[in-house]
Amino acid sequence: MGNVAVVGAQWGDEGKGKIVDWLSERADLVVRFQGGHNAGHTLVVDDVTYKLSLLPSGVVRGTPSIIGNGVVIDPWALMAEIESLRQQGIGVSTQTLSIADNAALILPLHGELDGFREESSGSRLGTTRRGIGPAYEDKVARRSLRVCDLENVADLERSVNTMLVHHDALRRGHGQVPIQRQKLIDDLMKLAPEILPYAKPVWRQLISAWRRGDRILFEGAQGAMLDVDHGTYPFVTSSNTLPGQISVGSGIPAAAVSYVLGIAKAYTTRVGEGPFPTELYDDVGSTLGERGREFGTVTGRRRRCGWFDAVMVRQAAKIGGINGIALTKLDVLDGLESLKICVSYRAGSDDFDYVPSVTSVQAALEPVYETMEGWSGNTCNARCQEELPDAAISYIRRIEELIEVPVALISTSPERKDTILVQDPFED
């Protein structure tokens, strides 16, 4: 019995929330290791919908959860999320939530800078304008404000002063007024007593859990193709979304991860800007969006929809060391007469069996499709493979062949109980 990492194998929004929730009931600890509140998870438990952005999915079921140092934290957004759950009857205490004391903070000035850049840029990246990128920039440049800085006003003031030398200059370049230094400090000191009780050197907690043999579930945000190094750059997020980030983003040895579960929809979606070879602009694309309720949890933006891209998922599986795939939203394909799977790309006279790195080539990629028979039967709410139509089984088998990874779980509705277990990640 080992520890499991759950990561997106497409462009995010693959349904990780439900799968993590399904697995968290059997985990002793759930850990977030990268990203910020720009990525949302929607959980449906007993017909109640919970929308999370920063909090690990385990908190809904009372499973002890950790926000690792690789996450950038908007403290106001975090406390608002905790309060929102409280109003839904879910209490979040220092017994169920720990926050890395060395995690970097997202401040209002980061979100504002995100907006200034998006408005003035000649090529928009489609960010959520929540300050994720600027916060990671400050972290790398060693001018971040961290959770532990809230413990001492002198440390806080010193960190704020260092940060504002840079940010006030940037704001002047965008024609904006300087930051109100004292107000920012006062606001942070007011918030400090609320967030500091959760702050700990979480790496010690993780190492102890690992040595005890506890089951640890690592919860990724976004998806492999949004990874800042391996994604469709520059239309990516500002962190590494692959499982390799787990060690540095939480403080546990890489050897602690024994099974990587990649999440992929039975079709493909993307929110925001960037290349999307299999995108559909016809009635089928609209149908997928309507049936799949393809709107961002955090932003509410409509997601672009297209056919399943086996080239992309295979690449995500290889670079991410994915052991098995959880295939979600299979039921959205019910009733379609035929289905297409992208098996390669073509750009001009060149063929590709991988996602090339050059931005202009990515934009020119055209999918080469393989067509399969659809099914008229109903997969919604199926809980065992025997309940699936033969054509649906054939579709799954073909996907496995093309991505070179077995399908370990199949999700047939947003409800956690509508999950078919083929291969148990915790027992593999």
Q: Tell me the catalytic residues.
A: 13, 41
- Give the residue ranges of DSSP H helices in 253-309: 283-291
- Preceding omega of 414 cis (within 30 degrees of 0): no
* CA-wise closest residue to 336 among 373, 308, 304, 367: 373
**Beta-strand runs (E) in 135-256:** 199-200, 216-219
The DSSP annotation for 30-61 comes to EEE-SB-TTS-EEEEETTEEEEESSS-GGGGG
150 CB neighbour count, 10 Å cutoff: 23
Supply the DSSP symbol for 405. Answer: S
φ/ψ of 140, rounded to 5, equals -65, -35
- Pair 37, 110: CB distance under 8 Å: no
Which H helix or E strand runs over 339?
A: strand 338-347
- Pair 97, 60: CB distance under 8 Å: no
* CA-wise closest residue to 340 among 310, 312, 370, 314: 370
Sheet strand arrangement including 199-200: 199-200, 97-100, 65-67, 29-32, 216-219, 3-8, 257-265, 324-328, 407-411, 419-421
Which H helix or E strand runs over 183?
A: helix 181-195
What's the CA angle centered on 97, arms 254 and 196, to 5 degrees?
A: 105
The structure tokens 């469709």 sit at 232
* CA-wise closest residue to 391 among 269, 399, 314: 399
**Cα(243)–Cα(203) distance, rounded to whole angstroms?**
17
- Pair 253, 247: CB distance under 8 Å: yes
